[in-house]
Amino acid sequence: MSKTAITVLTIVGIIVGIAVLLATSLAFGYVNFGNEANRSENGIVAAWTNNKNVYDNGWKTVMEKAQVPKEYIGQMKDVYDGVMKGRYGPNGSQALLQFIKEQNPTIDASVYRDIQQAVEIFHNQFAQAQTELVSRKQEYQNLLTGTMHGRFYNLVAHYPHIDLSKYDIVTSTKTE
């Protein structure tokens, strides 16, 4: 084999090597990006479900502790809804406690304190769950639109594969 042929083969070898390395990097990068995007979407759905879970747990706990007559449960649910969604402002739990006191005037002071704490605990848990949902959505949007690899791979992958608007936090009418 002539010296020229060897040189040509070497150059071709280098080009093929770079191409193979590049293709492998791209393939692994694409798989990694897909995994990350899928994990993010699953995390958003889970965080949204957790929001509902916290809301329901809070309602059940407060309802059990409050011992409000059955006919007032519907009204109490409306007030609870307002407290959780921040309709009554930062001291909104007072509105619910006021309602419970009106419907159950003989309520014991220790039970009253217990309810007060439960309302605040679930309000805080709900706020935290909502914050996490917002944070997860922001991170996912950043992955898709705020990173070089995200924008590049998403030309082919076309994420998001879920309707992100379905997984919004609940807001009070006061803030909208």
Partner 1 sequence: MPVRGEKDWQWLLDRLNADLGAAKQVNVIVVLAFTDDPRYQYALEKEWVGGKKNDLIVLIGTTRYPKISWVRIVSWSTAEDLKVVLRDDIQAIGTLDRRDDIMGAVRKEVQGRFERRHMRDLKYLAASHQPGGRALGIILFLECVTVLATAFASANLRGDYCGGCGHYRSYHRYY
List residues binding partner 1 (CB under 8 A).
1, 3, 6, 9-10, 13-14, 17-18, 21, 25, 36, 39-40, 43, 113, 117, 120-122, 124-125, 128, 135-136, 139-140, 142-143, 146-150
- Could you tell me the smallest distance in angstroms from the CB atom of residue 72 to partner 1? 25
Give me the least distance between CB of 23 and partner 1, in Å please: 13
CA dihedral sign, ordered 112, 115, 121, 127: negative
DSSP letters for 12-59:
HHHHHHHHHHHHHHHHHHHHHHHHHHHHHHHHHHHHHHHHHHHHHHHH
Pick the closer one to partner 1 by CB: 49 or 117. 117
SS3 content of the chain, % helix, strand, coil (to 5): 80, 0, 20
Indicate the residue among 43 and 82 with the shorter CB distance to partner 1.
Answer: 43
Rounded to the nearest 10 degrees, how much is the dihedral formed by the CA atoms of 15, 16, 19, 21? Answer: -110
Rounded to a whole number of angstroms, the minimum distance from the CB of residue 167 to partner 1 is 14
Amino acid at position 17, single letter: G
Select 4 or 173, whichever has its Cβ closest to partner 1: 4
Closer residue to partner 1 (CB): 76 or 125: 125
